[in-house]
Each structure stands twice: as C-alpha cells, then as structure tokens.
Amino acid sequence: MNRVKLTGIVTGIALAAALTTTANAQSYDERDGYYISAFTGLNFQSAATSTPSNGGSAANIGTGINLSPDNGFVLGGSVGYKFSSNSFAGLRIELEASYRENDVVTGQLVSLTGADATTFGGDTSSLAVMANILYDFRFLLFA
C-alpha cells in the first residue's frame, strides 16, 4: 500500500472519529433535523474469475480474467434527515456514498486458444451511491 493511500485511510479514520464524537453530543431523541455521518473500514473482496466462452467458431473464442485481490479499505458518508414527530418518530431517510479499493495481488488473462497466460497487477475500485430508509428502535436498558 503506498503512502498516499495510507494517508487517505488515516485521514478518513480521524474525520469519522471527529464527526461521531460531535454527533453524540446532541440530544438525539428529541429533535427533527438534518445530520451527516462518516465511516471507514476494511474491505474484503473475494477472488473473481471470468470464464472465456466459445460461440461456436474460432473467431468467437474469448479471453478470461482471474483476479486475486488483497484486502483494501472503504471510506464513506451520508447526509440525511431524522423525523421525531409522533407519526414518524424513529424514521430517517438518507443519501449515502462510499468508495472501496483493493490492490490486485495477482491477475491473469487466460485464453481458450491455449496461449500462455499473461500476468498483471493493479487495483480494483468501486463507488456506490444509495438512498436509505432507516428506523431507529429505542431500548431502555436502565430506567
């Protein structure tokens, strides 16, 4: 993992910790309103294989890909609105975005023609944007 990625991970963790501490200082149960949240963590991506297919003629012989990714990181956050009125108490709606990245330890291009496999490296990444509807349950453990 290079220095730029490590700096990004450390910055994301510090930002998430700061936002979490600030959010907990507010009276959560009594107020409607907008909120923001941030998160970071580890991303475990499993190996992936794309199998070549033969469409019936030599011209349609494909090339497959085998990927073996390393563990990576995830950074994300959300912006939402919390309802506290009697009819919608506990309901939240939010828009969330997250970014995931993993280094590819070993990658291979495999051909049905029997040609030698080509090995490569690199990284995989994904960006996700989701709309969420959540409901907060309130549990009183010590009354």
Per-residue confidence in pLDDT tens, the chain, 143 aa: 555 566 666 666 666 666 554 444 444 556 788 999 999 999 888 877 777 665 555 554 556 777 788 888 999 999 999 988 777 888 999 999 999 998 887 777 766 666 667 777 788 889 999 999 999 887 777 65
Q: How far apart are CA 69 and CA 105, in angstroms?
A: 5
Is 84 within the bounds of a domain? yes
Is 29 within the bounds of a domain? yes
Q: The whole model's pTM is what?
A: 0.60
Is 78 within the bounds of a domain? yes
Number of domains in the chain: 1
Is 106 within the bounds of a domain? yes
The answer to whether 38 touches 47, Cβ cutoff 8 Å, is no
Backbone dihedral angles phi then psi of residue 28, each to the nearest 5 degrees:
-75, -40
Give Cβ neighbours of residue 21 (< 8 Å, ≥ 6 apart). Answer: none
Is 142 within the bounds of a domain? no
Is 33 within the bounds of a domain? yes
Its domain, for residue 83, covers: 3-135
Q: Please give the angle made by the CA atoms of 41, 9 and 48, to the nearest 5 degrees.
A: 60
Amino acid at position 55, single letter = G
Residue 49: both structure tokens together: 């294989």
- What CA dihedral angle connects 115, 48, 12 and 78, to 10 degrees? 130
Q: How far apart are CA 6 and CA 129, in angstroms?
A: 24
